Structure 1
Amino acid sequence: MTAHFDVILIGGGLVGTSLAIALNHSGLKVGLVEAAAPRAGSAPREDERNLALARASVTALETLGVWRHLAGAASAIREIHISRAGEFGSLRLSAAQQGLEALGSVVPARDLGAALLRELEQCTGIQRYIPAQLLDARAGADAVELRLSTPDGETTLSARLLVGADGTASRVRALCGIGVDEVDYGQTLFVGSIQPGTALDGRAYERFSDSGPVALLPLAERRAGLVLSVAADEAAQLAQADDAAYLAYAQQRFGWRAGRFSRPGRRSAHPIRRVVAQALTAPRCVLVGNAAQTIHPIGAQGFNLGLRDALQLAERLIHARRGGGDPGSAGLLQAYAAGRREDRDGTLAFSDGLVRLACNPSPLLRPLRSLGLLLLDGVPGLAGAVARRGMGFRGQPSTYALGARP
C-alpha cells in the first residue's frame, strides 16, 4: 500500500535534517528518507570538518531549538583577518565594529550533526524511513510517486512535493533530469585541528597564496581548526606525511601570526569541485543544499548557503499550508527559485571569483589585491557591507535568521 505525504525529503544530512525540523508542527505530513541510521554523538570519524557558521545560521539554529544542544561545542568568531602571503594588504572584520558580540561561531561538524539528530528525535511530526534508498521517482500532475529500497524490501510512497537534500551526487537531481555545471579546481582540502602557539581568542584567519587558501578557526580549549587547500598532485604526498612534516607544511603556508603549530589532530582530505545544478526545480521537485550547489569551501559558504535554502523553502511551504495551497505547485516552486536567486548567484560568484582572484599567481594582480584589501580595511562602510554578507544577510533573510518562526 502506498503511503501519501505532502512533502518527502530525501537526505538526512545537515541541511535535510534542518529542513525536517523546520517543518515539524507545520501541519504538513512530512517524510524523511535517510540512507543510513545515525547515532547521537557518533558522526563518521573521518569527518574532521569544523564549520564556520554565519551569524544568520546561528540565529536560525537557535530558533529551531538546535543550538541548545551545542552549548559546549561552539566557539564565537569575533574577528576575521584576511590576507595574502607576500602582499602588504589585509582586511579585518570585527563584530565590535558592527555593534555585535560575534560575527558567527565555529562548530565541529560532528557536534552539529549530533545536535540536529537530538532535536529531530523530538519531532513528532516527521515520519522517518531509515535506512532507505531512493530507487525511482516519477512526477505526475498531482504527486510524485517514489520507490524505496529498505531492509524489508521495496516500498512505495507519494508526495505532493519531493525535496532533494541528498548531496553533491544527488539521486533526486538525476531522476528529475536536472543537469549540472561542474568545475574541478584541481585542489584537495585537508581539514583537522592543531594547537596554535598563540590563543586565537575568537579570531579567525583566511590566508591566501598561489597554492590556495588556508583558514584557521577558533575552537574550544585553545585548539584551532585548520583548513588547508593544496594542489591535487601534492595531496597524496601530504596525506602520507607524518605529523611533523604536516605541521611544517601548514606553518609554511600560513605563517607565524598564530605562533608555532603543534599537537595536530586527525586530518581528512576532500577533493574540491564546484557542482552547480542548472535548475533548482522540476515538476513537483526542488533541490536544496549540496544537491543544488556544491561550492568551493572558501569563506565557509557551503553549509550556510544550504541552510538558507532549507529555511526559505520551509517558510514558503508553511505559508502555503496556512493558505490551503499546494506545496508542490509550479507557482510556489517558481517563487522559491526566484527568491533564492540573489543570494545563490551572489554567493556562487563570490566564492568562485575570490578563489580565482586571490590565488592567481600573476604579478600584475599583486598591487591591485593589496590596494583592494587596504581600501576595504580603511573604509568602514565597505568593510561593514562585506561583514553583513559574511554573516549571511544577503538578499531577504528568512524569519528564522531574524529570530522568529514564520
Structure 2
Amino acid sequence: MTNASLQAGARQPVLIVGGGLVGASLAIALDAAGIEAVMVEAAAPRVGDQPSYDERNLALARATVNGLGAIGVWKHAAAQATPIQYIHVTRAGDFGSVQMDAARQGVDALGWTLPARELGAALLRRLDECTRLRRLAPARVESLEPVADGWCARIQTAEGPVDIDTPLLVGADGTASFVRDRLGIEAERHDYRQTLFVCTVTPERDHAHRAYERFSDNGPIALLPLASRRCGLVLTVPQHEATAVEAMDDEAFIALAQERFGWRLGRLSRPGKRHPYAIQRVAARSLVSTRAVLVGNAAQTVHPIGAQGFNLGLRDALTLAELLTGANDPGAEELLANYAARRAPDREGTMAMSHGLVQLACLQQPVLGPLRSLAMLAFDRLPPLQRLIARRGMGFRGEPPKAVLERLP
C-alpha cells in the first residue's frame, strides 16, 4: 500500500490526486528528485484494476520515451514497445499525402507504440522502487479544505480516514476531475459526437514499423505497428453509429475497417476485443490555483487524433517535477505561475493542432478538398516544413522539460 511512511515533523509532502499514467509518472519523477509525495488512487495498485491501464495502444512520441527513460520507467517497458520509423497520413477523396521518415529526420524512430496496460505495468514496477513516495490505494479524497500555506485533504482508505496537509495539491485525476471542480476552475467542453473503437488486427502485409492515419468525413482511422506483425487499430465513427458498430460481429467490423482504411497493408483479419471510447475535448481555463496545479487530462483532454493525450500530459508532469526540484516552497505563487507560462505554448499549440485537424480533415465540405491536397503536396516538397512538423510530432514544442531532451538509455 505504501512505499514510505511520513515521519513526524518531516516536511509536508506534495499531494497527487490520481495514480493513472500521468499521476504515476509525476510521482516517480518527484521521488527521483528526492521530493516527498503522497499519491492517492481510487483503484488498487494492480494493472487490471486501473482504468487507464487499458487496451489502448499508445503512440509514444520520441520526447515521451526520452522522458520515461530519464525517470527509470522505460527500462521496464522497452521490450514490449515497437518503434515507429515511418508515418503516412492521407485523406479519403483527396490527393497527396503527408509522410514522415525517421531516417530523413536523423533519428532511429519517430516514436514507439506501446499498449497502455504494458506502460501501466512498467509504471507499477517503477513505483515499487520509490523510497520517498507514500501510495494510498485504493483510496479516495472525501474533502479538500484550504489551510494556512496549503490544503488539508481528508482521504478515505481501507484502514479508515487519513488527514494530510500539503503545500501543493496536484490534480491528476482525469477528465472528470474532482480537484478541478473543488478548486472552482471552469473547463471549456466540446463534444465531437464521435466514438473511438480500439482493438488489434493482423494485416496481410508486414507493417514494417509504419504507422498510418487516414481521414474521412466519418472521422480518422489509424493503424499502429505492434509486435508479432500485429497492428493497433483506432477507428472513429459518428456517435449515432456507435451502438450498431459495437454490436457487429468480427466479420462485419473488419469489413468496415477495411472499407475505411483501404488495402495499403492488404487484407485485415483476426480483430481482437473491441473497446469503445466517447470523444470529447475538455480544457481547464486555468492550470493553477492557490497552492494547486492541474496536470494531464485534468488540465486538458484532447481528441485522440495525432495521439497527443498522454504525450502532452507527461510533459506536464516532467515540467512540474523540474520546477519543484530544489524549490524551497513547492506551492509558491511564482513557481506555479512559471509552470503555467512554461506549459502554455505546448499546451495551446497541441490542443489547437488536434482540434484543427478534426475540423479541417473530417468536415464534409467539398471546397476544402483541393486546399487539403495542396497542403499535403506542399508538406511533401518543403523539407523545412517537414522538420518543423516532425519535431513537434516527436514532442519537442515550446520549452520542453529537460528530461525529454536526454538521450535514450
Bin for the TM-score computed over the shorter chain: over 0.9
Q: Which residue, out of 17, 20, 29, partners 1:10?
A: 17
How far does residue 198 in structure 1 lie from its aligned partner after superposition? 1.1
What letter corresponds to residue 173 of structure 2 in structure 1?
Answer: D
Deviation readout 1:326-354 (Å, 9 max, x if unpaired): 10011111110011000000001000001
Match of 2:343 among 326, 340, 343: 340
User: Does the aligned pair in 2 maintain the 1:18–1:307 contact within 8 Å?
Assistant: yes
Q: Report the counterpart of residue 360 of structure 1 in structure 2.
A: 363
Once the two structures are TM-superposed, the CA of residue 47 in structure 1 deviates from its matched residue by 2.4
- Measure the CA separation in 1 of the matches of 2:119 and 2:341: 29
2:3 aligned partner: none
Q: TM-score, normalised by structure 1?
A: 0.96
Equivalent pair of 1:165/1:287 in contact (CA under 8 Å): yes
User: Any gaps of 5 or more consecutive residues in structure 1?
Assistant: none
Count of matched residue positions in the alignment of Structure 1 and Structure 2: 401
- Of 374, 391, 395, 1:392 maps to 395
Q: Which residue of 2 aligns with 1:308?
A: 315
CA contact under 8 A between 2:203 and 2:266: conserved in structure 1?
yes
Residue 239 of structure 1 aligns with which residue?
246
Task: Indicate the residue corresponding to 2:211 in structure 1.
Answer: 204
Work out the CA distance in 2 between the residues paired with 1:30 and 1:143: 14
Instruction: State which of 374, 378, 403 in structure 1 corresponds to 2:406.
Output: 403
Tell me the distance in 1 between the aligned counterparts of 2:215 and 2:330.
44
Q: Cα 1:310–1:45, aligned 2, differ >3 Å: closer, same or farther?
A: closer
Q: Is the 8 A contact 1:15 1:310 kept in 2?
A: yes
1:221 correspondence with 2:228: yes
Correspondence 1:137-152 to 2 at 5 A: 137-152=144-159
Give the drift of 1:21. Answer: 0.5
1:185 to 176, 187, 192: 192
In the alignment, is the contact (CA less than 8 A) between 1:2 and 1:157 conserved in 2?
A: no
Q: Give the one of 295, 308, 324 matched to 1:288.
A: 295
Which residue identity does 2:282 align to in structure 1? V
1:181 alignment partner AA:
E
Kept after mapping to 1: 8 A contact 2:87/2:210: yes
Letter in 2 for 1:188: T
Whole-angstrom distance in 2 between the partners of 1:161 and 1:376: 44
Structure 1 CA distance for aligned equivalents of residues 170 and 209 of structure 2: 37
Alignment partner, residue 264 of structure 1? 271
Q: Are the aligned partners of 2:45 and 2:137 in contact in 1 as well (CA < 8 Å)?
A: no
- The answer to whether the Cα contact below 8 Å between 2:211 and 2:223 also exists between their aligned partners in 1 is yes
1:160-179 alignment, distance < 5 Å? 160-179=167-186
TM-score normalised by structure 2 residue count: 0.95
8 Å contact kept, 1:148–1:155: yes
Q: C-alpha distance in 2, partners of 1:66/1:2?
A: 27
- Residue 253 of structure 1 corresponds to 260
CA contact (8 A) 1:2 1:155 kept: no
Match of 2:28 in 1: 21
Deviation at 1:403, TM superposition (A): 1.4
Give 1:26 deviation, angstroms. 2.6
Q: Tell me which amino acid in the other structure corresponds to 1:100.
A: V
Match of 2:375 in 1: 372
Instruction: Map 1:123-162 onto structure 2 (within 5 A).
Output: 123-162=130-169
Q: CA deviation at 1:129?
A: 1.1
Shift of 1:141: 3.6
Structure 2 Cα separation of the partners of residues 353 and 41 of structure 1: 35
Q: In the alignment, is the contact (CA less than 8 A) between 2:20 and 2:53 conserved in 1?
A: no
User: Runs ≥4 in structure 1, deviation > 3 angstroms?
Assistant: 1-4, 40-46
Map of 1:81-160 to 2, 5 A cutoff? 81-160=88-167
Aligned counterparts of 1:166 and 1:137: Cα–Cα separation in 2 = 14
What is the CA distance between 1:2 and its match in structure 2?
A: 11
Identify the residue that residue 48 of structure 1 maps to in structure 2.
55
Tell me the C-alpha RMSD between the 2 structures. 1.7
Secondary structure of 1:72's aligned partner: helix
Could you tell me how far apart the structure 2 residues matched to 1:236 and 1:102 are? Answer: 37
SS class of match (1:198): coil
Deviation at 1:160, TM superposition (A): 0.3
1:36 CA displacement = 1.3
The answer to whether the 8 A contact 2:53-2:120 is kept is: no
Identify unmatched segments of 5+ residues in structure 2.
Answer: 1-5
Q: Work out the CA distance in 2 between the residues paired with 1:163 and 1:111.
A: 25
Q: Which residue of 1 aligns with 2:385?
A: 382
Give the secondary structure class of the aligned counterpart of 1:27. Answer: coil
| Cα 1:331/1:45, change in 2 over 3 Å | closer
- What's the CA shift string for 1:304-336, capped at 9, x where partnerless? 00000000000000031xxxx210011111110
Question: How many Å separate the matches in 2 of 1:66 and 1:29?
Answer: 19
- For 1:326 and 1:92, the matched residues in 2 are separated by 46
Look up the SS of the partner of 1:194 in the other structure.
strand
